[in-house]
Structures are given as C-alpha cells and as structure tokens.
Amino acid sequence: MPRNFIGHQPFKGRGAISNPAVRFEATRREAWHDGWYEDEIVEHPSETVLPDRARSVISYNDSPDVGFDQSINPYRGCAHGCIYCFARPTHAYLGLSPGLDFETKLFYKADAVKILEGELARTKYICKPIALGINTDGYQPLEKRLEITRGILAVLARCRHPVTIVTKSALVVRDIDLLADLAKDKLALVMISITSLTNDIKRTLEPRAASPQARLKVIRQLSEAGIPVGVLLAPVIPAITDHEMEDILAAAKDAGAGSAGYVLLRLPHEVKTLFREWLAEHYPDRAKHVMSLINQTRGGKDYDSEFGQRMSGTGPFAELLRTRFELARRKYGFDDAHDRYELATDLFRPPGLAQAQMTLGF
C-alpha cells in the first residue's frame, strides 16, 4: 500500500498532519512542483482495511513498567487518531508511516479466535491475566463491524481466563454481558483512559475517540454492572492537559471508578515529530513552553526510554505531577485495595475442557 500523501496538511477527524518517512528506509520524499501540473489536493485520506495473517495472538513482555506479562492486540493501526499514541512507530515494521498511515492503513487479525484457542490449549500454557487491546485500542471503530475483540473475549469467558482492558471507546459497553460474567469470578478489570474533559482539546488530540462525557458514562455503566473499573489519565501533557488532573479524578470517582493511574506523555521515535507538528498547528502560542516542560521531565531530551522512569519522568515538574496525583487520589477516595485488585487464575480451563464442561451442563 503506497503512501500517497506528501507534505503537511490538517484533516478533519485525523490526528496526524503528515506522513513522516519510515525510519528504516534509506530514501526520503518531499513535495516538488515541476511546473507541469498541480498535484491533486487530498481532502479526505482514504481508509484501507486488510487481514493480518498472524501466527500467534498472545504477545509476551518482561517490562517492569507495565502490570501484565502477556497481551493481545486484535488490530494494527488505530482510527482513533490520537496524536500522542506510543504505538504509532510500530507501523514502520509494516513499511508504513507512523503518521496518517497509522490512522488509515488498518489491519485485523482475522483468525484471532482460532489461534487463541490453540495457544490456550497448549499443555505448557500458564494462565496469567491477558491485557486486551494495549498497543492499539481493541474497541476502535473497526471493532463495531468486525467484532474481533468480542470473539476473543468470548473465548476468555468460556475458558474462565482473566483479562484486563484499557480503552477510550464507548463500544466496550456492548460487551457488558461477557465482562459481567467474568467479573463475578474476579476475572475482569477495565480501565477507561481519559486525557481531557474539554471537548475542544479532545477534538484535535483524539479526533475519533469517544467524548469525555461518553467515557464517564461508560465508567458508570460498567460500575453499575458490577465490573471493576478504573480511570487512567494517559497521557498527561504538560501545559495542555495537566491542569485537569484533579477534575478528571473527581469526575471519574463520581461516575464509579474504583482505581486510578496516570502516564506522562511519551514521544518515542516518530511520535516526537508528529507531536511537534500538532503543537505548531493547534497551540503555536505555547509550543515552545510545552516542549520545554517535556524536556525537563526527560533529562533534556524529547523522550527517555529508561525502564522505571519512562512512564512518569524525572525532575521537579515530574515530581510535582506525582505529588498532585497522589494527593488527589487520596482526596477523592480511590481505594488502595482496588488499585491492587488481583484477578483469579485458578479457574482457567483449556478450550477443549471448557467446551466439554459446557456440554455437560445442558
């Protein structure tokens, strides 16, 4: 799929305003008017959806910065278009740009359910909570039509396998039936990511994600259904969204969130270029100030990938954010026990055995 957009141009409903070159490519492209004809102006980048022929669906990691050992990502790329998405650079492994390509060249794991059943059935498989939709949102718009995430969730429910979900989408409430069934056995935890309560900020920052009000409603609906739900302030952006930290926590707690966490803005690889372009387009009056604060939390750089500090940063400003978060978390009554909520693993039954038990139940 060739990239057919060169240059810089904001698009309605899209986060990136360019398609930066893939970092693995030796060649670079730039727009050039040769005097013969005018290039056609792109008004709406087209969306392409293709199957991803995966051999496995469970990914494993040993990072000390995340609270899970294994995860499943039903999709590559994400139409939500969040400009800050740390997963954007992964599109480079497909030969595609982390910019507009990431939002418009989408892939789905068509055989995810079948492959997952095979992996869970392996004799050496050890049951640990699976984080669903971490790299890209498992409930992005494409899921409404393809239902890959729901299919995976159904397998996990049938096998009584614990699962955690992080999402910015209201579509997760579609699966309340499966999540409530899992939750009754301490097998499910959902975190709703809220970056801002301001619609104008959300509109350019996360153009196709659910509105802040819709996400608060999701928290309430999940909580009322008996599903453990928390709020994740991710990312906190200095001088853009950090002033909303206390308000977000208060609103989420009022909606029924039991736990809370936050992640400082991360700008790995091409994301730093895309974010700087976004700042220049939407916040030219404070772009230098924002980057100055980010640099202060990253040892003078745009990003520091060091384990133990890449999620929260270092320095006085990062410490101020930590202090504010902890004070607000205690003030609004987030439960320490809920933050340490542990999912059950002793109920797991491999697919074959789980299916046999379901048959015996009739």
Which contacts qualify for 325-329: CB closer than 8 Å, 24 or more apart?
A: 325/233, 325/245, 325/249, 325/260, 325/262, 328/245, 328/246, 328/249, 328/250, 329/249, 329/260
Average pLDDT for 159-182? 98
pLDDT at 66: 72
User: What digits encode the pLDDT tens for the residues 19-33?
Assistant: 887 776 655 555 555
Please report, to the nearest 10 degrees, the dihedral formed by the alpha carbons of residues 88, 11, 137, 121 taken in order.
Answer: -70
d(Cα 346, Cα 182) in Å, to the nearest integer? Answer: 13
Question: Which tens digit of pLDDT belongs to each residue from 260-304?
Answer: 999 999 999 999 999 999 999 999 999 999 999 999 999 999 998
Residue 54's contacts (CB-CB under 8 Å, 6 or more residues apart) are 109, 111, 112, 115
The Cα–Cα gap between 303 and 299 comes to 8
Q: Which amino acid is at 170?
A: A
Residue 65 placed within a domain: yes
> Is residue 5 domain-resident?
no
Burial 184-194 (b: 16+ CB within 10 A, else e): eeebbbbbbbb
Quote the domain boundaries for residue 187: 52-263
Taking each continuous run of H as one helix and of E as one strand, the counts in the chain are 13, 10
Residue 174 lies in a domain: yes
Strand partners, 264: 236
Beta carbons within 8 Å of 134's beta carbon, 6+ residues apart: 66, 68, 71, 73, 166
- The verdict on residue 320 lying in a domain is no
Whether residue 163 lies inside any domain: the answer is: yes
Q: What pTM did the predictor assign?
A: 0.89
* Candidate from 135-139, 173-177, 305-309, 338-342 with smallest mean pLDDT: 338-342
Question: Rounded to whole angstroms, how far apart are CA atoms 4 and 163?
Answer: 39
Q: What is the pLDDT of residues 77-135, one digit of tens each?
A: 999 999 999 999 999 999 999 999 999 999 999 999 999 999 999 999 999 999 999 88
Q: Output the CA–CA distances (angstroms, integers) from residue 134 to 227, 242, 255, 291, 320, in the order listed.
A: 19, 23, 23, 26, 27
Asked if the structure places residue 288 within a domain, the reply is: no
Per-residue confidence (pLDDT) for residue 358, from 0 to 100: 54
Q: Residue 148 corresponds to which amino acid?
A: I
CATH code of 144's domain: 3.20.20.70
The answer to whether the beta carbons of residues 157 and 120 sit under 8 Å apart is no
Confidence of residue 338 (pLDDT cuts 50, 70, 90): low
When divided into structural domains, the chain yields a total of 1
DSSP assignment of 138-170: TTSTHHHHH-HHHHHHHHHHHTT--EEEEES-G
d(CA 114, CA 119): 9
Residue 241: inside a domain:
yes
Highest mean pLDDT: which range of 36-50, 55-69, 302-316, 321-335? 321-335
Cis peptide bond prior to 89, omega within 30° of 0: no
What's the mean pLDDT in 168-181? 98
Mean pLDDT lowest for which of 143-157, 186-200, 302-316, 334-348?
A: 334-348
**Top-ranked range on mean pLDDT: pick from 44-48, 53-57, 147-151:** 147-151
Read off the pLDDT of each residue in 314-322 and give the average, rounded to a whole number.
97
Whether 308 maps to a domain, the answer reads no
